[in-house]
Every structure is written in C-alpha cells, then in structure tokens.
Structure 1
C-alpha cells in the first residue's frame, strides 16, 4: 500500500508560498470586492454543491480563501484547509477585512484528515476544486480521509481541471502522459493568474509581479479521472455525478484559447474540443 509523500508535500508548500504572493499581486483590493457582494465561484460548483444554508462544509486545498469566503457568503459554516502558510495567512486577513465568518487551518490535508477524524469532526459537505488533484500523492488515503470526515448522508463535490489538459503544453503539443505512477518534479507553481488575466480577476486585473519565476521546485502527480472516481468508491462513497466540460473556467491553459461568456476559455474551432474540466459528486451512505 502506498502512503502520502510528505517530503514532496514540503516542496510544494514552499513553492505555493512563493506563488501565492505573486498571484495576489494581480488581484487588487479583494476585500473591497467581497464587501461589495462579490463572489469568485462559477456556476458549476454552485450547482454541484446545492443549497448551502446551514451546511457544515470543509474546503480542502482552499488556497488563499477566496472561494471559501464565497461559500460562506452562501450560508455555509465553512472551514478552509491548505498547506501554504502564505495562503492561509492571507485568507485569515481577508476574512477579517470582509467580516465574512470562516475558519482557516494551515495543514497538509493528510495530517488534517487524521487530526479531524480523531476529534470526531463531521461535515455535511467536503469540497475541492481547480488544480487540487495534481498535488495529491496518495489518492486512496485521500478518499479514505474524505469518507472519514463526512457525516452519514454527506457528499464530496469536486470541480477540477481535466487530466487531458495536463498532457499538453501551452502550444497544444503532446508532452506528458495521461497518468504516471511516478511524481513529476520540476519547476514550481507558476503565475497562472498573470496568464489568465481577467479570467481569474474579473473585478480588475493588475500587472503586479512581472516575470515571476518560482525559486522552489514542485512535485505533481498525474492521476486519471478513473483513478479519482475509484479512490472515492474504494472509500465507500457512492458516485452520483460525473460530468466533463470542453472549457476551462477562468484559467487559460493554451495560448490560442479564447475567453467567452462566463469567463470560460475554449479552444478555437480548428482544434479538437478536448475536455478541460470535469465534475464529480459522491455521497456517503446514510
């Protein structure tokens, strides 16, 4: 049986600390955006999660907390968990500056699963999204961890970039395998916010940090969609929803991608309409 690669998680913690500062440099006064009623959520995750009023929700790999606070704004009792010190510190400041109630925990999620289960914590919803799965070193342990903190009848919801996207570089050249049992250790987290512009900062993109190069390496893991689904089923959850989308919300992966209505990036008509996102919902039996 495999086990989480905490040594590689530590590489990623340092990498995300650097990248988070660069990402937030493009986003201006985020507190003002939220105080004015703004939300960073897309319709896909709102639809997948369903009504949130009064629901206990944990947002895994929550990054700097923008989506977490948007979920709290919809009525959920929210906890956000992320490995990055910089991201959690920013999320806590943003919650304080906006007055939106949310708890944020700095932890490797594999450690958090064990600690939360030992405390007897139970959630109605577990949520994760957009660029989370590629950082998971042990999908089986991840699935078990989710099942362990879900209340009976509760659901896990995931909206994620499709692993097919990870096979290509930004020029649509086939570069990496669809799945690989070995981690890929290479350049750290890049400045995808700068590459995506208004796709990720609709309230007003700012140049911020330019020419960002992460000084820390990163370790990514190539998991197929079936690997994700089977990890959840293997942990005893029941699959309810699986969807694929030919666009990517907010994030420009390919140089020729075109942003259309709803800040969705599509490939042009002369290229194959590969899936760029997928969604999963799985429920713990009552």
Structure 2
C-alpha cells in the first residue's frame, strides 16, 4: 500500500496538480474577489496580523504557497514576497492571480527542501508558512534547517498551521473526541485515498487520489527550530481553524474561523509560532 519514500513527492505533487484547478474555481478561495477588491487579504493572513506587525519593505518568502492568495496578501501589506511551491499547475494560477491584481510577485517552482538551492541562502527578512503545510513533509528537522538557511541574520519566521493534536482525531466520530492517528512524527507516512479535497468544489479528483502525510508534535516543531539555531519569540495555540476540522461539531464565526459548538476550551485546532535568527 505504501510506495517507496522516495516517491512521496511525486505522489503528492500529482495530487496537488489535480487539486489546483478545482481550488482556483472554488468559492472558498474566491480568486475573483482579490481581483475586484485591491484591499482584500486572505483570512489566514488577516488572522495573524497582530503577530505579523509592520512588514512593509521586508523581503519575504512564502513556502508552499499554492494559489498565492496568502503571498498576494503579504504584498498588499507592503512586503516584497516570493512564493515557492512544487506544483507547476498551482503556480500557474498564482502567477495569473498576481498579474491580474497588478502585484509584482516572483513565483518559483521548487520542493520546499530544495528552497535554499532555488532561492539562495540568507536572502529573506521573513519566512512565512500558512495553514496546511507541514503535514506534507516527512522531516520537521530538515524543514527547520531550510527555514534557518533562508533567513538573513535577524530575520524571522511566522508559521501558522493545524495543531498536531487536532490531526490525531477521528473526524468521523461525532460522539466523542477520539485520538486515532499518530501525534509524533513517524518514519512511514499516513497514506490517504479520496476524491474530495478540503474545500467546496464543482468537481472531484479523478486520478491522483492518493496522498502521503505526516504529523509533527508541537514539541518536535519547537525543538527542530531551536536545533536549527532559531530563537522562539512567540507561540500561541488557537481554539479555531479556517476549515471545519470535525464536520458537524463546529460552527463558523464572522471571522471565518471554525470552533467547537460545545467545549471550545478542550482542544487547540491551530497554532502560530514565531522565531528569529540571531
């Protein structure tokens, strides 16, 4: 069932290549709204505005940028961003969106682990990574070393992602919070097969329906950043996520964030970590 580890990139890239057109036409990504409204920011970037602070003039890189809505949002906040992703199909949509919005953004095709080779070392004031990124990577240590190598001295990281505890839950159970899947990083991936993606779309996946994913414990993430030579400057766990993690058990607020209907204080669904290179 599990192919060789060396194949995980190809398996996942094929899946994202097929997802990208579905996402580009999805009301969840609402690409036309960015074209129509020059002030629109993605919900993910807007959520972390208090932690991002003033990024005007900063040279930023958005790792695993997908369709580039977060990358565009960083540009609209005054940063000079580069978007990096391994899916050429997603990047075609990202470049089109930036062009239609009149934003000068460089999008680079590369696997995240090859980012230093693709972009150069110590070039960036800010490394930004948004929701749903780390689960596609088998080694959190290698990711953290990549982030550190991209940052110039004094540069910083801002990462918001799904909380690893939430990733252990069985989303089919509606009677209780059932811990079913690994919390810590494992040698072998969790292999998933399905035709649906995580947002409402007009179609479904037809061919590349398999993905390989990994969880990474919060302690593993923090330790990896520390081992890579970064200093942790902030860590916040959130009771919400920008998608319905547990279908039928969450409600969406005016801020576009989903929270448990009952017992919101029981579980974090996302987290934001900030770190700085000495």
Residue equivalent to 1:55: 58
Alpha-carbon distance, 1:281 to partner: 0.3
Counterpart-to-counterpart distance in 1, 2:63 and 2:82: 9
Alpha-carbon distance, 1:188 to partner: 5.8
Secondary structure in structure 1 of the residue aligned to 2:22? helix
Alpha-carbon distance, 1:180 to partner: 4.0
Counterpart-to-counterpart distance in 2, 1:271 and 1:260: 13
Residue equivalent to 2:243: 251
Residue equivalent to 1:263: 256
Structure 1: gaps of 5 or more residues: 195-206
TM-score relative to the length of structure 2: 0.88
TM-score relative to the length of structure 1: 0.86
Secondary structure in structure 1 of the residue aligned to 2:221? helix
Residue equivalent to 2:145: 144
Which has the higher mean CA deviation after the structures are superposed, 127-136 or 252-261? Answer: 252-261
Return closer, same or farther for 1:68/1:189 CA change in 2, 3 Å cut-off. farther
Structure scoring higher RCO (CA < 8 A, sep ≥ 6) equals: 1
Alpha-carbon distance, 1:95 to partner: 0.9
Residue equivalent to 1:125: 126
Residue equivalent to 1:197: none
Secondary structure in structure 1 of the residue aligned to 2:56? coil
1:69–1:100: 8 Å Cα contact kept in structure 2? Answer: yes
Counterpart-to-counterpart distance in 2, 1:272 and 1:126: 30
**Where in structure 2 are the equivalents of 1:148-227 lying within 5 Å?**
148-172=149-173, 173-181=178-186, 182-187=188-193, 190-194=196-200, 208-209=202-203, 211-212=204-205, 215-227=208-220
**Where in structure 2 are the equivalents of 1:26-65 lying within 5 Å?**
26-27=26-27, 30-37=31-38, 38-42=40-44, 43-65=46-68
Counterpart-to-counterpart distance in 2, 1:179 and 1:214: 30
**Where in structure 2 are the equivalents of 1:79-94 lying within 5 Å?**
79-94=82-97
2:11–2:208: 8 Å Cα contact kept in structure 1? Answer: no
Q: How many residues align?
A: 265
Residue equivalent to 1:201: none
Secondary structure in structure 2 of the residue aligned to 1:160? strand
Secondary structure in structure 1 of the residue aligned to 2:132? coil
Residue equivalent to 2:272: 279
Structure 2: gaps of 5 or more residues: none
For each residue in 1:106-139, what CA deviation from the matched residue of structure 2 results, as whole angstroms up to 9, or x when unmatched?
A: 111111223333xx45100001010111111222
Alpha-carbon distance, 1:183 to partner: 1.2
Return closer, same or farther for 1:29/1:167 CA change in 2, 3 Å cut-off. closer
